Structure 1
Amino acid sequence: MRWMKISCILCMFGCFKDFRPSESFVTDYLTGPWKNFTKEEVNQDILPVATYSYLATLILVFLITDFVRYKPIIVLCGLSGVVTYFMIILGKTVIVFQIVEFFYGVFMSTEVAYYTYIYAKVDKKHYQEVTGHTKAAVLFGRSMSGIVAQLTASFELLNYHQLNFITLSANILATIWALFLPSVNQSMYFHRTSVSEEDTQGKDTLDYHLQHSSNSQESRNVENGKTKQCFMVSGAQVLRKTRNAYALLWKHFIQAYTNYRVAKWSVWWALATCGYLQVVSYIQLLWQTAVIPGDMIYNGAVDFVYAIVGAVTVFYVGKIQLNWTLLGDMTLSIFSLLEGSMLLGLSYSYNIWLLYFGYVIFGVIYHTMVTVASFEVAKYISEDSYGLVFGVNTFFALLTQSLLTLVVINTLMLNIRQQFFVYGSYFLILTVIYIVMGIINVVQHCRSGAKFHVWMSDDDKSLSTSCMSTVESSKPELDNS
């Protein structure tokens, strides 16, 4: 099957891309004898640059990805990873590592092409399967990099500096592998396959004018005794295509975010992702405060456990048929409360094993609930909007993260434990918001006289199918005016 072959090629890229064993010990590497940065330099001067770079490049990369048809951006993803880890190996100063973090932000933003390429290459009936494949490949790459990092460090086969060579090699392989991806002839917005009659007529008229203009120019050249080939590129066709693409983008955006359920789940998705990215970025600095000098560090093993447990949990949560319409708000508030309380506890704890355990549980909760959010949002949007909603939610997550970084790290300059106290409080505020929304939802449900059931009934499934049918029938067409 051709779609399976394409999925396997893309998944190999994802596996190589996320095979980064050096990341499990990156903070210890930067503050160790290889680079000799202080914890304050890593916390305040180096790591925040990646957040700002990720935000600054995401929307631009998202639009360019659709325009150039995915594959060039996937290759750019691999190349930016190669540049990042090559500079990590050679870099010595804070300025150089700030440039490194810029390229790392580009590396992260270009991942949008990896997650959306497959939708332009396979039939819609395979979307669920190939989505699972791409996510599984990433988790597999992360789990393998974690165990390799831990084994090589524990048995002193490689030091933290040498792990970067493995990561660099994996990114080089990913870049080479990306060259074998089949080219994409269509995309969601700029290169759609469906062409209306008006488009066709417009194209025929344009071709006539181009041909007429070309013949006239050629005649003039012959008269001057100079016969030369004329290549004329029509800006009108590109302009029309761009205008239609942005019109369709805007229609999909309005269609998605004017739906209350999409907006509700997307807000949690964006705000929770902000907190998750902040915790993941700075957790190793917190671990350092609890490690006794000379003790073995198990960061790689923690990353391995985190990826495996997360993969299993995400796989099974997709099979649970709960009534998320009724229970979603309260579920989000409960898990946000757990995450917030856990982060507050971690900000005071000096037990490294408790810190490791808390990080794994926090990450598993986030990935579980963001998976629920993603398939709940998918019920009420058109399939063409998947990439757009993913990009918009990620953009708002990064915007919030940048503001949080600017205030907490670069303005107030809080130490790492104070930062995690703020992150815990952030999730508690999120808890209060969704408790209120959950109470309102339950009250409205009871007033409507509907049955209070936890598991999704056949009526709920029919409603979900009906919603998807309505969305499909109301997909906006290209603006040909």
Structure 2
Amino acid sequence: MKMETLKRWMRDWKYPTSLLCIYGFCSTVKPLEPFLIPFLTGPDKNLTMEQVTSQIFPVWTYSYLTVLVPVFLLTDWLRYKPIVVFQCVALFITTAMLLWCNGVPEMQAVQFTYGVVTSCDVAYFTYLYSIVDLKHYLKATSYCRTAQLLGYLTGSVLGQILVSLELMSYNHILVFTLVLTGIALSTSVLLPMPKTSMFFHKKRSASDGEGHAGTEEDVQSNGQKDGAELDGSKPQQQMQEDSSDCDNSSSKTGGCGDVLLRLWRDFLQCFSSRTLLIWSAWWALATCGYNQTVNYVQSLWEHVEPSSNFTVYNGGVEALSNLFGAAAAYGIGFSSADWSRWGEVTLGTLSALEGGALFAMVFSANIWVCYCGYIIFKSLYMLLITIAMYQIAAGLNMERYALVFGANTFCALVLQTIITSVVVDSSGLGLDIVTQFTIYGTYFSIIALIFFLSGLHTTMCRKPEKETQRENPEETFKVEDDAQIIIGTKF
């Protein structure tokens, strides 16, 4: 009787969700991450700040960009689970190399393997959606994302306590991280293998259909019923016909060429919308600047107040920024603002505040102002990216959501690679950290100006809502559930 109950539970959506929660928590607890610069420049690794900033850190950006597209396709072809396991193996190797290796080439190899780890993030939630039924998407996404956020928060707080109270050395913290990564790896191996995937493995037998997660067709049907058509999109009936044609073609051959052709058609269809182009442009531009800031902010802190003569509070700052950012992202879901009308103005205004926070960090020369500026900057980014995701989710089904979000991330990485190679890399200009952050502040100021002016133009040219409803009485939108799912996958 107990065995039957256990088998029934393992076939339920709660089983893979629970395993993913454990995996997500253990793999994101990284107590050393807020103190990576003091660790690398301290007696443990004995590297210089110039080596870390200009020679080691840029490798992560290059490797992330290089492997992102191949991993995106392999994730679907291998049906998600192997990539989840591979990500954990790569994370274990990264932590082990960070613990036992020394020198610039070895640390560059660490950054390369970590770039592979971050490129595999796409497998986490795509696996969840492949194994969990559509009606459980919202709860499962919420649980898994909460587990990840708790992992980040726990790692930052734990790292601050261990470093401030001198309970563990940096090396011992890495050993502790290896143990947690080992637990995550064991959990990933226990995950059930999906029978279908979004592109390469779509056909299912009748027996496979029982008790399995919603298929792509289920997701598309839900998105087509509930999704809103963005400005400039094809009519809903035409969207359904195009999707059906692509599905039939892919089902017949299942070849890589059919998959790539279908991706290209969906890409052109999605980005024919002006509204989606605007929000995606901000996504790519802001994410590029955000990644650069987060990657090199510890170097700025070390410049303002060297860790050799100051008790650093990097862990506490990261914990607060994650907490406030998550609260901002969650709280915006209760707002009744008309983001389709005021969204661009909001993007411009708050992007200006982000630029101001970066300028304050650079010119204050005070570590506490730097800490506060970083918390404000990160919280504002999480707030704005949530609004952008909501607007994009309004007119996309789950398949196009993955495609568009992946394209936005890729564009952000291309821009980040250009900035890194020119501004940061020693083979480029190799600018000092103060000049770098001055450039980042100017970068966000330019973004703010562009979107604020675009938002003013959109607001002035937009017809009143009542008049629009009289002209289009049958046009309705039902996007709240889908948007909550999308928002949950990011924050």
TM-score normalised per structure 2: 0.82
Unaligned runs of 5+ in 2: 1-8, 206-249, 483-491
Alpha-carbon shift at residue 181 of structure 1 (Å): 1.1
Which residue in the other structure is 2:442 paired with?
Answer: 425
Alpha-carbon shift at residue 409 of structure 1 (Å): 1.0
Q: Deviations over 1:372-429 (max 9, x none)?
A: 1112111111222222222111111111100010111121111001000000111011
User: SS in structure 1 opposite 2:477?
Assistant: helix
Q: Residues 31-70 of structure 1: matches in 2 within 5 Å?
A: 31-70=41-80
Which residue in the other structure is 1:320 paired with?
Answer: 335
Of stretches 5-14 and 72-81 in structure 1, the one that deviates more from structure 2 is 5-14
Matched, 1:241 2:258: no
* Counterpart among 163, 174, 193 of residue 184 in structure 2: 174
Q: Deviations over 1:271-305 (max 9, x none)?
A: 11111111110000101122254321111111111
Q: Residues 347-426 of structure 1: matches in 2 within 5 Å?
A: 347-410=362-425, 411-426=428-443
Alpha-carbon shift at residue 175 of structure 1 (Å): 1.2
Of stretches 30-39 and 354-363 in structure 1, the one that deviates more from structure 2 is 354-363
Task: Supply the AA of the counterpart residue of 1:464.
Answer: F
Which residue in the other structure is 1:465 paired with?
Answer: 478
Task: Supply the AA of the counterpart residue of 1:299.
Answer: N
Task: Supply the AA of the counterpart residue of 1:272.
Answer: A
Q: Deviations over 1:140-177 (max 9, x none)?
A: 10100011101111111012222111222222211111
Alpha-carbon shift at residue 270 of structure 1 (Å): 1.3
Of stretches 244-253 and 337-346 in structure 1, the one that deviates more from structure 2 is 244-253
CA pair 436-34 structure 1, distance change in 2 beyond 3 A: same
Q: Deviations over 1:329-349 (max 9, x none)?
A: 000001110001111121112
Q: Deviations over 1:48-101 (max 9, x none)?
A: 000100010111100000000000000011001011010011111100111111
* 2: CA distance, partners of 1:308 / 1:466: 26
* Counterpart among 154, 174, 177 of residue 164 in structure 1: 174
* Counterpart among 125, 140, 165 of residue 130 in structure 1: 140
Which residue in the other structure is 1:151 paired with?
Answer: 161
For the 8 Å contact 1:382–1:468, the answer to whether it is kept is: no
Of stretches 384-393 and 352-361 in structure 1, the one that deviates more from structure 2 is 384-393
Matched, 1:258 2:272: yes
CA pair 128-167 structure 1, distance change in 2 beyond 3 A: same
User: SS in structure 2 opposite 1:289?
Assistant: helix
* 2: CA distance, partners of 1:300 / 1:449: 48
Unaligned runs of 5+ in 1: 196-235, 470-481
For the 8 Å contact 1:275–1:423, the answer to whether it is kept is: yes
CA pair 28-335 structure 1, distance change in 2 beyond 3 A: same
Task: Supply the AA of the counterpart residue of 1:108.
Answer: T
For the 8 Å contact 1:17–1:78, the answer to whether it is kept is: yes
Alpha-carbon shift at residue 432 of structure 1 (Å): 1.4
* Counterpart among 84, 106, 111 of residue 94 in structure 2: 84
Which residue in the other structure is 1:284 paired with?
Answer: 298
Alpha-carbon shift at residue 8 of structure 1 (Å): 2.1
Alpha-carbon shift at residue 466 of structure 1 (Å): 8.6
For the 8 Å contact 1:30–1:36, the answer to whether it is kept is: yes
* 1: CA distance, partners of 2:464 / 2:376: 38
Which residue in the other structure is 1:274 paired with?
Answer: 288
Q: Percent of counterpart pairs with the same letter?
A: 36
User: SS in structure 2 opposite 1:437?
Assistant: helix
Larger Rg: 1
For the 8 Å contact 1:408–1:419, the answer to whether it is kept is: yes
Q: Residues 109-124 of structure 1: matches in 2 within 5 Å?
A: 109-124=119-134
* 2: CA distance, partners of 1:315 / 1:20: 24
User: SS in structure 1 opposite 2:304?
Assistant: coil
Which residue in the other structure is 2:235 paired with?
Answer: none
Task: Supply the AA of the counterpart residue of 2:397.
Answer: S
For the 8 Å contact 1:380–1:468, the answer to whether it is kept is: no
Alpha-carbon shift at residue 34 of structure 1 (Å): 0.4
TM-score normalised per structure 1: 0.83
- Matched positions, count: 423
* 2: CA distance, partners of 1:119 / 1:73: 15
Task: Supply the AA of the counterpart residue of 1:252.
Answer: D
Alpha-carbon shift at residue 9 of structure 1 (Å): 1.5
For the 8 Å contact 1:255–1:381, the answer to whether it is kept is: no
CA pair 375-467 structure 1, distance change in 2 beyond 3 A: closer
Alpha-carbon shift at residue 127 of structure 1 (Å): 2.7
* 1: CA distance, partners of 2:97 / 2:158: 22
For the 8 Å contact 1:78–1:174, the answer to whether it is kept is: yes
* 2: CA distance, partners of 1:407 / 1:168: 35
For the 8 Å contact 1:271–1:400, the answer to whether it is kept is: yes
For the 8 Å contact 1:381–1:468, the answer to whether it is kept is: no
* 2: CA distance, partners of 1:338 / 1:249: 37
Matched, 1:74 2:84: yes
Of stretches 344-353 and 118-127 in structure 1, the one that deviates more from structure 2 is 118-127
CA pair 449-317 structure 1, distance change in 2 beyond 3 A: closer
